[in-house]
Amino acid sequence: MSILSVQDIGIAFGGVRAVDNVSFSAETGQVFSIIGPNGAGKTTLFNLVSGVYQPKTGQVRLDGEAVTALEPNRLAERGLSRTFQNLQVFFRMTARENVMVGRHLKESRGLLAHLLALPSTLRQNRESAEIADALLSRVGLADYADTPAASMPYGALKRLEIARALAADPKVLLLDEPAAGCNPVETEEIEKLIRTIADDGVAVVLVEHDMKLVMRISDRVLVLDQGRVLAEGKGAEIRSNPKVIEAYLGTHGPREANLALN
Amino acid sequence: MQALFSHRLAVPLVIAALVVALSFALPSSFYLRVAALVWISAIAVIGLNLLMGYAGQVSLGHAGFFGLGAYAVAVLPAQFSLHPLLAALAGALVCGLIAFAVGRPILKLKGHYLAVATLGFGILIAMAISNESWLTGGPDGMPVSRMTLFGWRVRGAETWYWITGGLLVVGAWIAVNLVASPTGRALRALHDSEVAARVAGIDVARYKVRVFVISAVYASVAGSALALVNGFVTPETANFLHSIELVTMVVVGGMGSILGSVAGAAILVVLPQLLTTFHEYEHMLLGLMMMVIMIVLRSGIVPSLAALFQRRRK
């Protein structure tokens, strides 16, 4: 059984069906990519799956449990984590503190112990800081640990969000355009990182515009167009699918597509 | 040196040193009394700063909690001959419960809407206090009986200076503990991005209520202390202008700065005293100086000066 399965999910904004009857499932240890032209509904789909929006139709199952329309923090408790296309970083906190927040669910939550700085709280702080430092090294941001997020470069913030999401030890990780705005070197680093995350036994669901990255890294690809599923399959199948080429390049596309991709 | 300044306990230690040093420097009981008033305001301002500066939620009704704390030590000993310390504890408890009850619906609101809702809440409490004159003495206020501790009558400016100073140090210590804890990180996170905080597993509504309750208890304790020091309470402690004054202290001193809370309280308590020599120009000068402070040190006194200091060293 799939760790994440989405069935016939849909939402409409003022009559526009932003996401319409979309189904897919993601498997542990694999990278599942969602592609599509601008406005196809990729980010909306992420917001539905992660509980930020309430779906009008359909359902989401996480590890066999029905989790449709649960609050994002309840989904996080069940092992779903995500990053954001438009950065949602805690800008007034340092990089280390940002990742420590990602550790929230694993931390002790006794308020009295926090107010009095009991040894258990100090130990907790140290432990979270150590885990955060290890994750920052993993995404290549060890040098930024004490830097306020507000003064970090864009590409670093993208990776900071990934580190924060990983801090929760997720079973499913939704990555919304992790390589957007990154230079080729950073993109390559992110590609390697995503691969190791999947290899560690996380189901990665990826929205990405960098087609070469998607084709290299994905186990399966889903193509969305105008809120609907256009095609689903392995990278090679998607690349040669005439409907996909038409959605991206118009009806005269196939020849140009072959030129562009080969 | 840097590590010394950034240690969690640096701030309460600095405040403790300040309390001790000023006790030698201040020449008369008048000044000690003014300093005690600064410590008391600073306690309420630290609580409000946890709510505003760290969690990013505004409250324009905090004098309501301050007033409830003040009237608790006036009314409860008079009506039920409760010891003032127990009365203060009861006041803090009631404020915490009220904050818990109104917190969930009110803190769903954001920005200006939250400001107006808390404003209404504060006005409600102030009205209740001045209308229920059978209990509170109405607009004229009521006397507060002197506190006795183990047969010793607590009195005199110097005694209250040390008691309130000690309370402030404890309040600052608890605040820095909270800020550096998982709860503190959750509060600062939801300030910057609620959606990212929720995705990280933080129950945003619950944490907002938590910090609202904590800040209400701080205000209540400060109110109780003020009533005991003055030996008298008036409805003005709970009114709208006092709420605004507390918010101003937070902003002038520095949002998200515990030391700033003390600085903000000091400025707004001491300046009017100094400016009384200018008679009718007093309020004009006070307003003008606050405008200048905000224009020159826009993130508040302590954070702005700290940033300036760090730039100088580089």
The predicted-structure confidence for A141-186, as pLDDT tens digits, reads as follows 999 999 999 999 998 999 999 999 999 999 999 999 999 888 898 8
Query: What pLDDT digit, counting tens, does each position of B9-66 carry?
Result: 999 999 999 999 999 998 888 999 999 999 999 999 999 999 999 999 999 999 999 9
Look at residue B263 and tell me whether its pLDDT is greater than 90.
Answer: yes
Domain range enclosing B166: 2-239
Look at residue B2 and tell me whether its pLDDT is greater than 90.
Answer: no
pLDDT value of residue B1 = 46
**Residue at token pair 């955060």:** A132
Whether B257 is covered by a domain: the verdict is: no
For residue A105, the chain B residue with the least C-alpha distance is B201
Look at residue A39 and tell me whether its pLDDT is greater than 80.
Answer: yes
Q: Is A33 at the interface with chain B, CB within 8 A?
A: no
Whether B249 is covered by a domain: the verdict is: no
Is residue B55 a contact partner of residue B211, using CB atoms and an 8 Å limit? Answer: yes
Domains identified in chain B, total number = 1
Look at residue A254 and tell me whether its pLDDT is greater than 60.
Answer: no
- The CA-based diameter of chain B, rounded to the nearest angstrom, is 63
Q: Residues 28..87 of B with a Cβ closer than 8 Å to A: which?
A: none
User: Does ipTM come in above 0.85?
Assistant: yes
Q: Which residues contact B159 (CB under 8 A, 6 or more apart)?
A: none
First to last CA, chain B: 15
Whether B280 is covered by a domain: the verdict is: no
Whether B93 is covered by a domain: the verdict is: yes
Judged by CB atoms closer than 8 Å, whether chains meet at A104 and B196 is answered as no
Q: pTM for this one?
A: 0.93
Establish how many alpha carbons lie within 13 A of residue A101's alpha carbon, considering only the half-sphere containing its beta carbon. Answer: 36
Is residue A41 a contact partner of residue A10, using CB atoms and an 8 Å limit? Answer: no
Whether B293 is covered by a domain: the verdict is: no
Domains within chain A, CATH numbers bracketed = 1-79+170-262 (3.40.50.300), 89-163 (no CATH)
What is the rounded distance in angstroms from the CA atom of residue B261 to the CA atom of residue A1?
Answer: 55
Q: Is A92 at the interface with chain B, CB within 8 A?
A: yes
pLDDT value of residue A250 = 67
Is residue B144 a contact partner of residue B231, using CB atoms and an 8 Å limit? Answer: yes
Whether B78 is covered by a domain: the verdict is: yes
Q: Between A and B, how many CB-CB pairs are < 8 A?
A: 108
What is the rounded distance in angstroms from the CA atom of residue B222 to the CA atom of residue B70?
Answer: 8
CA B10 to chain A, closest CA, distance in angstroms equals: 14
Judged by CB atoms closer than 8 Å, whether chains meet at B199 and A76 is answered as yes
pLDDT value of residue B118 = 95
Whether B29 is covered by a domain: the verdict is: yes
**B38, two tokens:** 């600064």
Whether B272 is covered by a domain: the verdict is: no
A123 vs B contacts (CB less than 8 Å): none
Query: What pLDDT digit, counting tens, does each position of B178-207 carry?
Result: 999 999 999 999 999 999 999 999 999 999
Judged by CB atoms closer than 8 Å, whether chains meet at B182 and A125 is answered as yes
HEC readout, A135-161? HHHHCCCHHHCCCEHHHCCHHHHHHHH
